[in-house]
Structure 1
Amino acid sequence: MKWYNDDFIKKIPKTDLHVHLDGSLRIPTLIELAQKQNITLPSYTESGLRELVFKPSYKNLDEYLTGFAYTCAVMRNLEAIERISYELALDSFAEGVRYIEVRFAPQLLIAPDLGFADIVKAADKGLKRARQEINAKLTHEEPEFDYGIIICAMRYCNANFSPFYKQFFTMHQFSAQREIIRLASLEAAKAAVHLRKETDVQVVGFDIAGSEYGNPADHHTESYQYIHEHFLHKTVHAGEAFGPESIFLAITALHADRIGHGLFLFDESMITNPAITDKQRYIEDLVNYIADRRITIEVCLSSNLQTVPAIKHIGEHSLKNMLAHKLSVTFCTDNRLVSSTTVSREITLALDNFSITARQLKDIIVYGFKRSFYYGSYPKKREYVRKVINYYEKLEKEMLKN
């Protein structure tokens, strides 16, 4: 007999520390914005888009990423960005999520009349508006809703990625592609620091996203060093499509506080460096370091199942090994629309397929708040986490009879 139920999972306070803004639109909003902006979609009905684009499962990562061409197309508009951000906050809170860290790459949305700072400010405006509306209705014992924004640079880019990249590549036409990627990443890092220091926009961290294979993290050491020196938090997409070495670089070269996905952390077959002769020892040392440093892994179960065909069943996911090695993990959606998921669904998926006790779930949930890149001061964060724990324990007593 299950010790949990759907109502309990929905009501407990949760985080979503890995959610992409451009992968988390409401389908009716996407359709409406596309029609207003004369953007062509494969279908203008929700059922049609779910059949053709936003599917329950995908053949591979390329098919999974198809939908972003449509979502990004409607987001090159400040009102659209604000609305999408606002709706994401409301949708998250509706399923009990009290804290979200929304990540996106403004470079993909820049247009001739739309600058980097304008885009981030529009997202922040939507999130702030949602926070104000949500918190005005809460009881005194409930944890408030809050958020942070994570700016993403791209591991790989070319001139066709967006109008910004087209112009950037034209300006640096005599530079090697790797050098252009490095410069674009550093520019994003400088923008993130500026927004954090010079505005009230809640930028809390920096990330690199995009194609992992063949685009190692150490191409971005300069941008992450800049972020590091200016006290912003650091997360890195790593181990999503490449092996332990990618995670090693994220930690050693980029000072990662958290790891996005970390799916292939335990996979010896994906180690490619011939100098690593004892692959088992290499992984053991890496895992122990991650555990000891409490580097949190942002686990995205549904997304991994959809983008890695080799995983035939959720039970094959490396979450089992992560839990066995006492790693700090948190459950995330990655893309609420593209993966057709919620945080509650991700938690239920984990509980249904892995041996997670009530105490373990509580620890995972609370650690999501503890390892968040909270915008306020550390004492304020501790106060917030304490309120989360108190509310969680109250729900446990009320809803779990055993």
Structure 2
Amino acid sequence: MQYPADFIKAIPKADLHLHLDGSLRASSLIDMAKRASIELPSYTEEGLFDQVFKSHYNNLGEYLNGFQYTCAALRNLENLEQAAYELAIDNQEEGVNYIEVRFAPQLLMNPAAGVTFDTIMHVVNDGLKKAKHEYNQQASVQQGEKPPFDYGIINCAMRMFGKKGFSPYYTQLFQHLRDFEPMQVIRTAAMELVRASVRMRDEEGLPIVGLDIAGQEIGYPASQFKDVYEYAHENFLLKTVHAGEAYGAESIFEALTQCHADRLGHGYSLFSPEMTEDPTIEDPKAYGEKLASYIADRRIAVEVCLTSNLQTNPSIDGIKNHNFKHMLDNRLATVICTDNRLVSRTTVSNEYQLAVDNFDISLKRLKDIVAYGFKKNFFPGDYVAKREYAKTNLAYFDKVVEQFGLKDDSHS
């Protein structure tokens, strides 16, 4: 079925896998760099797109290269609040009513300059809250013609970092814990992050809704952070894990069994048996199929990032060969996300268009995908409020369908 771009833009959407430090406006990054005296390879948008934020990347390393500039710029608190505010605005302008903004606060911390975890969390929340307030004051929202905008914040621990260069906080931590093994330092940082997240949620009412673990999968299995996820689990902080992006299905199994994952970031390798490396898995294809059936049955949502996967995984030969088709065929709960709006040069509407133009998605299936974005999110309110919010957005989806005169011609 063909869907016009105006229709895709108009339907209510949610982005649940959205990295703040990978989603700045290119024009703003230039201004921010000048303000914070950060050196960029170019001070024009064209130059940045040509040299750093490309349409295609040769490997994951090249893809991640741009984060050194964005993270450096975001260590300035004024820049950080602006980035959070503009990210919400950019989503609102393309019909995205709910976002979960994730980032690694410890990458931005600079204790010597007074840039603490608490300060960073308040500044990011201030930017998002301002954009939410402005949007929800609009007459169309006030009168119930359009759903309100809302958001949650997901804090990322890092799977790995070095002694120097990652951030002032990490450098200092290695100095303080110089007699620890490197992995002990990394796990200590992750535990501090989750404890601080729970504290700020409970004592200061910040909408910190989830925990994530990001960074290189290979060599840094999620199981090493089992106690960190256990703490989140015991304190009702919801959990997502970058799993199956650059490592086999065993990484996804580990996220579910060791880390109590409520959602999966990427989950790509579930249907790529050749990515399995665990020698104890004798039949990787059968293993992936059983795991997929389990995930589908438990309705564990997969945060799908099409463009990002194509850019970081050269083995995917074109969008039509993306494992999203297998996710659809196996009836997984999938949510279409951007990952990084700047680094991947995309928007939520672009990602939806990419999906509907290349895969067989009936109107009913499209509504299901939209629904998962509202039903599988880590909403900052209680379950009753979340249900009501989802209901409001899905009723608006039906209204948009009616406005465009679309009819479902499938029985899926």
TM-score range, shorter chain: over 0.9
- For structure 2, the 5+ residue unaligned runs are 408-412
Deviation larger for 34-43 or 144-153: 34-43
Confirm or deny: 8 A CA contact 2:243 2:255 kept in the other structure: yes
Give the AA of the match of 1:63. Answer: E
- Give the SS at the match of 2:335: strand
Counterparts of 1:280 and 1:42, CA distance in 2: 44
Confirm or deny: 8 A CA contact 1:3 1:358 kept in the other structure: no
Give the AA of the match of 1:25. Answer: L
Indicate yes or no: 2:332 matched with 1:333: no
Shift of 1:279: 2.3
Q: Return the match for 1:359 from 356, 360, 364.
A: 364
Confirm or deny: 8 A CA contact 1:159 1:166 kept in the other structure: yes
Deviation larger for 250-259 or 183-192: 183-192
Q: Return the match for 1:218 from 201, 215, 223.
A: 223
Give the alignment's TM-score, normalised by structure 1.
0.98
Counterparts of 1:57 and 1:268, CA distance in 2: 25
Q: Number of paired residues? A: 401
Indicate yes or no: 2:149 matched with 1:145: yes
- Give the SS at the match of 1:114: coil
Confirm or deny: 8 A CA contact 2:230 2:259 kept in the other structure: yes
Give the AA of the match of 2:22. Answer: G
- Give the SS at the match of 1:15: strand
Residue of structure 2 in register with 1:344 after alignment: 349
Shift of 1:384: 0.7
Counterparts of 2:250 and 2:63, CA distance in 1: 24
CA RMSD of the aligned region, Å? 0.9
Residue correspondence of structure 1 range 83-232 to structure 2 within 5 A: 83-111=82-110, 112=112, 113-137=114-138, 138=141, 139-160=143-164, 161-232=166-237
Give the AA of the match of 1:3. Answer: Q
Indicate yes or no: 2:239 matched with 1:259: no
Shift of 1:157: 1.2
Counterparts of 2:405 and 2:303, CA distance in 1: 27
Counterparts of 1:389 and 1:345, CA distance in 2: 20
Give the AA of the match of 2:94. Answer: E
Residue of structure 2 in register with 1:249 after alignment: 254
The ranges of structure 1 where at least 4 consecutive aligned residues each deviate by more than 4 angstroms after the TM superposition are none
- Give the SS at the match of 1:264: helix
Percent of matched pairs sharing the same residue: 52
Confirm or deny: 8 A CA contact 2:36 2:76 kept in the other structure: no
Shift of 1:324: 0.4
Residue of structure 2 in register with 1:282 after alignment: 287
Give the AA of the match of 1:142. Answer: K
Residue of structure 2 in register with 1:271 after alignment: 276
Give the AA of the match of 1:155. Answer: R
Shift of 1:85: 0.2
Residues 282-332 of structure 1, C-alpha deviation per residue, up to 9 Å, x if partnerless? Answer: 212211110111110000000001111111200111100000000000000
Deviation larger for 209-218 or 266-275: 266-275
Counterparts of 2:284 and 2:30, CA distance in 1: 49
Give the alignment's TM-score, normalised by structure 2.
0.96
Residue of structure 1 in register with 2:30 after alignment: 31
- For structure 1, the 5+ residue unaligned runs are none
Residue of structure 2 in register with 1:10 after alignment: 9
- Give the SS at the match of 1:129: helix
Residue of structure 1 in register with 2:64 after alignment: 65
Residue of structure 2 in register with 1:50 after alignment: 49
Counterparts of 1:335 and 1:277, CA distance in 2: 36
- Give the SS at the match of 1:123: helix
